[in-house]
Amino acid sequence: MSNQILSTQDIHANVPPYRYNPSAWSQRIPICVLALVAALISVHLSLFQWGLIDSVYDPVFGDGSENVLKSDTATTMYGLLGIHDASLGVLAYLGDAILGFAGSTRRWQYRPWLVILFGIDVIPLGVVSVVLVLCQAFLVGSWCFLCLVTAAISLLLVYWAWDEVRVSLTYLWLIWKEHHDKRLLWDAFWGRRNERLDATAERLLSREVD
């Protein structure tokens, strides 16, 4: 292997157009912590939807949360999916946390597939959260305090996760733009390394930051 292959001392490098490394632990740990908080909240909501507890914590809207969680809309979703929406939230937020903790601080290059999978879990969840909030407003006519909290967390997770997803996609796009080689792009997607891939990553890192 050529000595041009990057060493582990480079894994903390800042990645343009950002003045930081989107894969750094300082960027990912807050995402993981928030995702775990949202998962715990979703567990509470899920326990109520499954009938395992009798009430839902709601310091703002009173019985609004119970109206939302037991609404016709929620029942219809359960009939279509075979699982309550809060339970799906538990799985999705746990997925966010697990995928957020996985990989090194240069996973945008070494594990693009992982970063993209992370984005696929985080970003659609934010969209779904917005849709569910709209359902509360226009279909149910009641508000669920903890549901709104998890929706806000979802949108914050999208905001924090997007920069890393963008960097990985930019890296893959540069690979294709420079080489037009499907096999090389496939290798880059799975995090395989060679001189051409590392050279492209270095060119990305050498870009000027606006």
What is the pLDDT, as a whole number, of residue 129? 86
Separation between Cα atoms, residue 123 and residue 121, nearest integer Å? 6
Query: What pLDDT score was predicted for residue 3?
Result: 43
Q: Which residues contact 189 (CB under 8 A, 6 or more apart)?
A: 112, 113, 116, 172
Domain that holds residue 58: 23-205
In a domain, 4, yes or no: no
* Closest to 161 (Cα-Cα) out of 210, 93, 85: 93
In a domain, 137, yes or no: yes
Question: Using CA atoms, how far apart are residues 175 and 35, in angstroms rounded to an integer?
Answer: 32
Residue 77: predicted pLDDT: 87
Check which CATH number belongs to the domain holding 60 and give it.
Answer: 1.20.1440.130
Residue 155 in domain: yes
Which pTM was predicted? 0.88
Judge whether 184 lies within some domain: yes
Inter-residue contact 103 to 110 (CB < 8 Å): yes
Residue 10 in domain: no
Q: Is residue 113 part of a domain?
A: yes
Residues 32, 38 contacting (CB under 8 angstroms): no
Q: Is residue 9 part of a domain?
A: no
Identify whether 17 is part of a domain.
Answer: no
- pLDDT per residue of the chain (210 residues) written in tens, 0 to 9: 444 444 444 788 999 999 999 999 999 999 999 999 999 999 999 999 999 999 999 999 989 999 999 999 899 989 988 999 999 999 999 999 999 999 999 999 999 999 999 999 999 888 888 888 888 888 888 999 999 999 999 999 999 999 999 999 999 999 999 999 999 999 999 999 899 999 999 999 998 776
Which of the 8 DSSP states describes residue 59? T
Give the per-residue pLDDT at 2.
42
Based on the structure, what is the number of domains in the chain?
Answer: 1
For residue 139, the model assigns a pLDDT of 87
pLDDT of residue 9: 45
- Amino acid (1-letter code) at residue 90: V
